[in-house]
């Protein structure tokens, strides 16, 4: 298969030295990309700013902002069999970026926020019947209900939900625990394990769904 993976955070600039971002290390998305490569698939990895080495053999597209990630996904979506949207895209950005550094002496700045593009909802009309779209839901509460809502709202085949309120998993760690919800009503759980193991488990689900769609 041709697998397109997004990973890591995005950064939305506030001024020339500051930005809005999140705690995503990119480890989960990079683990998915590595698992796909081990399985013999072609991989394009669209990565936000991270400090880990990309898996050897993947095509790497480096981006910074949500707009840049959206453009990269659009450019590489055609011809892919599976999209795994593991990136933690910033939800908001400042409406105006200060041309000069905001001075502490001037006091707290007043910032007007605007929403960044929802990448999965934006590309939903581009989706082909044989393509499999997988999203991630990083939540701190109401995990199952939020994941199911996003599954429907973003027209996904699969969503992998994880609890990021616990210190032993999720952001900036090497381990995760996933609950996968599928558009056909199925749900499956992966207990706390190395992200590489979680990635291989998730990939097997996506391979199965892709094969079914192509029959």
Residues 106-135 have pLDDT tens digits of 999 999 999 999 999 999 999 999 999 999
- pLDDT of 68 reads 98
- Over residues 141-168, the mean pLDDT reads 92
- pLDDT of 163 reads 87
- Over residues 80-102, the mean pLDDT reads 96
Name residue 47's beta-bridge partners. Answer: 7, 62
- Over residues 138-147, the mean pLDDT reads 91
- pLDDT of 185 reads 94
Instruction: Identify the architecture of domain 2-101+110-214 in CATH.
Output: 3-Layer(aba) Sandwich (3.40)
- Contact yes or no for 37/58 (Cβ under 8 A): yes
- pLDDT of 134 reads 98
Flag whether pLDDT at 95 surpasses 90: yes
pTM for the complete prediction? 0.95
pLDDT > 70 fraction of the chain, expressed in percent and rounded? 100
- Over residues 28-44, the mean pLDDT reads 98
What is the average pLDDT value for the chain, to the nearest integer? 95
C-alpha distances out from residue 157 to 33, 78, 128, 133, Å: 18, 17, 12, 5
| Digit-coded pLDDT (tens) for 171-209 | 889 999 999 999 999 999 999 999 999 999 999 999 999
Tell me the catalytic residues.
22
- pLDDT of 71 reads 98
CA distance 55 to 53: 7
pLDDT confidence tier of residue 166, bands split at 50, 70 and 90: confident
Find all residues with CB under 8 Å of 127, minimum gap 6, and list them: 133, 155
């Amino acid at each position: 298969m041709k697998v397109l993976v997004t990973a890591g955070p995005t950064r939305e600039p506030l001024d020339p030295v500051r930005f809005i971002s999140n705690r995503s290390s990119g480890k989960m998305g990079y683990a998915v990309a590595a698992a796909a490569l081990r399985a013999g698939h072609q991989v394009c990895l669209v990565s936000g700013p991270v400090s880990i080495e990309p898996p050897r053999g993947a095509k790497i597209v480096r981006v910074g902002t949500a707009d840049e990630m959206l453009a990269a996904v659009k450019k590489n979506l055609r011809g892919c069999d599976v999209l795994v949207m593991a990136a933690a895209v910033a939800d908001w950005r400042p409406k105006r970026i200060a041309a000069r550094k905001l001075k502490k002496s001037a006091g707290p700045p007043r910032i007007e926020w605007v929403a960044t593009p929802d990448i999965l909802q934006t590309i939903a009309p581009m989706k082909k019947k044989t393509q499999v779209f997988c999203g991630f839901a990083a939540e701190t509460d109401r995990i199952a209900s939020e994941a199911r809502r996003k599954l429907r709202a973003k027209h996904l085949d699969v969503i992998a939900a994880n609890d990021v309120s616990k210190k032993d998993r999720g952001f900036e760690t090497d381990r995760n625990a996933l609950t996968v919800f599928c558009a056909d009503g199925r749900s499956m759980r992966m207990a706390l394990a190395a992200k590489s193991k979680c990635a291989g488990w998730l990939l097997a689900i996506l391979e199965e769904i892709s094969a079914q769609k192509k029959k």
